[in-house]
Structure 1
């Protein structure tokens, strides 16, 4: 946004220029008509006789520049002031419309000049010139003013002094108002420009926030789809392969494997429907919550049917978890187990959940081929994104020692609103 001190008022619009043209021509016509009427009744009296052409020419020259009072305000003010003083010098200037023209020019320069600092000095210079010319006029005419110049004066003050003070006072008031209201108009235009600029910045910020929200939502949906589809399809594929191998040897084993495929497919469809429901309008609430840490045992039961032996243990004081923490813990276990099924050729997986004083630790280790997964993938990327949103940490890499395999360990900040009692459970 441009600094307020550097702000320059833009020029008038084409519509405003047309309005200025019409108003300017109307003022010119009115001034010329007034000069003709004033000459007819003898109101233009300067002590010397001037031609009608000269009177009309000065009236035209002092009012016609007002046509450009908003497009070229400083120039119009200077030209109008020069013509005004020239007409006074020639004693051929009509006063009423000429005075109105110089006051309007001073106002326009204050309100519309693009360089407000320069305009301020120009206006002060023009106003000073007007008062200077007033002083010169009085000095030149002082000797010609006789004692009987004010025969009808009845006041307590000297008539000559009163005439001088009244003229000065009137010019101070009129020029003061012209200067003051020009400043007010410029400040109002600047405030409007600031509001427009701030509104535009708000619109840009809103658009950026909406775009970021769209990206965040797309990433969230991508993580959810990966977690749901990858896990269940992996289990289904392993169970289907087991059923095919057992079809000819053991019908009961094949039946159990196909039943597990059916359950995995049903679970995958249920979770996909939940996600699709979340993408609908806000007045269609999602009734099925995302799975949390309480469903880890159910998850491990399904993978045991796929031939992977799970070991599951919970340590520490089990507490109520925020929904986001519970769901993230479940997805971490799900992703780690899915990787053990898909990539590692593992036979066992060890899942440990620890409720620490300020953190929830999830530790998943298998005995498969760890090196196959060190390059990462969509699952590990999604896992890290989930954990970072909660301000946690995650480590993933090959296990050390003779056992080999791969380990995923994550720590999530733990808020403990209420305790459900001390409990330790080990399942194998």
Structure 2
């Protein structure tokens, strides 16, 4: 994954980095003053007679102390140190070692910390050009005043003056080149670090979203399973209890039979709930995802429960049954279960016909009744939503509509995937 960071601007230094810069600036200034004292003590003045001691201290401090602000105002600090460095050299200030390092650090800081990359490039190029221009002018001026015997021990193949100029130019090219290159490298490294942090944050966000989606999917699955298990059996129990109440005084024997059916439905509901909760508690790969072992082999029990609830229910299997994947078998069972539940709760039907057809490349589920044929609006309720989700998950089609002869029909078709028994 690549994140485009062209408009990125490097943030300024942290408070801790600012405190560090102040300490570094003071330490470098102290080191430069110490070196200035040592140079004056040795009396080796390479540039010529130096100015007075106060002026030497001034130029040394001007070339080093601004480093305390190098990451907050890199371009300004680089310009100030460059001007002070040239002025100090022109005035023959003897301290060169530490002030040269300060100039290097200032040019480097512009490349590493300047937020405006165009300004950073222009400032560095301008400083380098000005330095080489001043070097050229000072070289011309100094060579005109050289005595004839200034190089008495020269023995190389090049003219002494030419060799000195080439050496000075090469040294300055390396000096400023490395300062420029390392500054850009530091800025690029910071930019890539920012890019990695952005990518890591996006990865964490996508993982959190995926985890949330998985949790929501699991909640939907639990809600669907609870609806399928509880709604069906409770609906059957409600219908059976109502029928028992009507015949209790007239036919006690039949009432006892119907109460036994209510009891059995309750036990079945509790058993399926227990098995499903155990499944949710255990989870993990390899666990049977059919709560209660629900599959097409148990559709006859659903029809028997509907018959016990007072419906004239029939069940037929057409074609040659073949072993089905567990998920497909469960989906078919749940769709039939939900269709029977809707018939008991909403249709006011007296007849129910359940058919399973095994075609050459398709499994068809057909549940029809003779009720009112006026279902709830499409998409309302968990039952119809659950049906559509199960069918869609298996690349099937679902049709729910009123029958021309009266009643309502639920028909689902699944691509038939055969598995080894």
> If the TM-score is normalised by the length of the shorter chain, which range does it land in?
over 0.9
Paired position in structure 1 for 2:254: 253
Flag structure 1 segments of 5+ consecutive residues without an equivalent. 421-428
| 3-state SS of paired residue (1:409) | strand
Flag structure 2 segments of 5+ consecutive residues without an equivalent. none
| 3-state SS of paired residue (1:394) | strand
Q: Distance in 1 between matches of 2:94 and 2:412?
A: 92
Q: Distance in 1 between matches of 2:84 and 2:61?
A: 10
- Once the two structures are superposed, residues 104-154 of structure 1 have per-residue CA deviations (whole angstroms, 9 ceiling, x without a partner) of 111111122222343123222212221121111111112112221112323
Mapping 1:44-123, distance limit 5 Å: 44-92=45-93, 94-123=95-124
- Once the two structures are superposed, residues 74-115 of structure 1 have per-residue CA deviations (whole angstroms, 9 ceiling, x without a partner) of 221121111111222333362111111111111111122222
Q: Is the 8 A contact 1:228 1:272 kept in 2?
A: yes
Q: Distance in 2 between matches of 1:89 and 1:270?
A: 98
Mapping 1:222-237, distance limit 5 Å: 222-237=223-238
Mapping 1:261-276, distance limit 5 Å: 261-276=262-277
| 3-state SS of paired residue (2:6) | helix
| 3-state SS of paired residue (2:231) | helix
2:335 maps to 1:332: yes
Q: Is the 8 A contact 1:278 1:285 kept in 2?
A: no
Paired position in structure 1 for 2:385: 381
Give me the CA root mean square deviation: 2.1
Paired position in structure 2 for 1:356: 359
Q: Distance in 2 between matches of 1:32 and 1:3?
A: 47
Q: Is the 8 A contact 1:274 1:286 kept in 2?
A: no
Call closer, same or farther: CA 1:326–1:383 in 2, change over 3 Å.
same
Paired position in structure 2 for 1:409: 411
Q: Which moved more, 1:38-47 or 1:406-415?
A: 38-47
Q: Distance in 2 between matches of 1:314 and 1:97?
A: 96
Q: Is the 8 A contact 2:25 2:68 kept in 1?
A: yes
Mapping 1:199-218, distance limit 5 Å: 199-218=200-219
Count, aligned residues: 417
| 3-state SS of paired residue (2:317) | strand
Call closer, same or farther: CA 1:270–1:362 in 2, change over 3 Å.
same
Q: Distance in 2 between matches of 1:35 and 1:274?
A: 88
- Once the two structures are superposed, residues 365-409 of structure 1 have per-residue CA deviations (whole angstroms, 9 ceiling, x without a partner) of 1001112545643311221222223232212121113xx011111
Offset at residue 26 of structure 1 (A): 0.3
Paired position in structure 2 for 1:26: 27
Q: Which moved more, 1:141-150 or 1:376-385?
A: 376-385
TM-score (ref. length: structure 1): 0.92
| 3-state SS of paired residue (1:371) | coil
Q: Distance in 1 between matches of 2:77 and 2:415?
A: 71
Mapping 1:158-307, distance limit 5 Å: 158-282=159-283, 289-290=290-291, 291-307=294-310
Q: Distance in 2 between matches of 1:182 and 1:288?
A: 60
Call closer, same or farther: CA 1:316–1:133 in 2, change over 3 Å.
farther
Paired position in structure 2 for 1:43: 44
TM-score (ref. length: structure 2): 0.93
Offset at residue 284 of structure 1 (A): 11
Q: Is the 8 A contact 2:368 2:409 kept in 1?
A: yes
2:345 maps to 1:342: yes
- Once the two structures are superposed, residues 183-229 of structure 1 have per-residue CA deviations (whole angstroms, 9 ceiling, x without a partner) of 22122111111110000001111111112122211211111111111
Offset at residue 349 of structure 1 (A): 1.0
Offset at residue 33 of structure 1 (A): 1.7
Q: Distance in 2 between matches of 1:230 and 1:282?
A: 23
Call closer, same or farther: CA 1:384–1:288 in 2, change over 3 Å.
closer
Call closer, same or farther: CA 1:282–1:346 in 2, change over 3 Å.
closer
Which of 395, 398, 409 is 1:394 aligned to? Answer: 398
Offset at residue 301 of structure 1 (A): 1.1
Q: Which moved more, 1:342-351 or 1:115-124?
A: 115-124
Call closer, same or farther: CA 1:307–1:344 in 2, change over 3 Å.
same
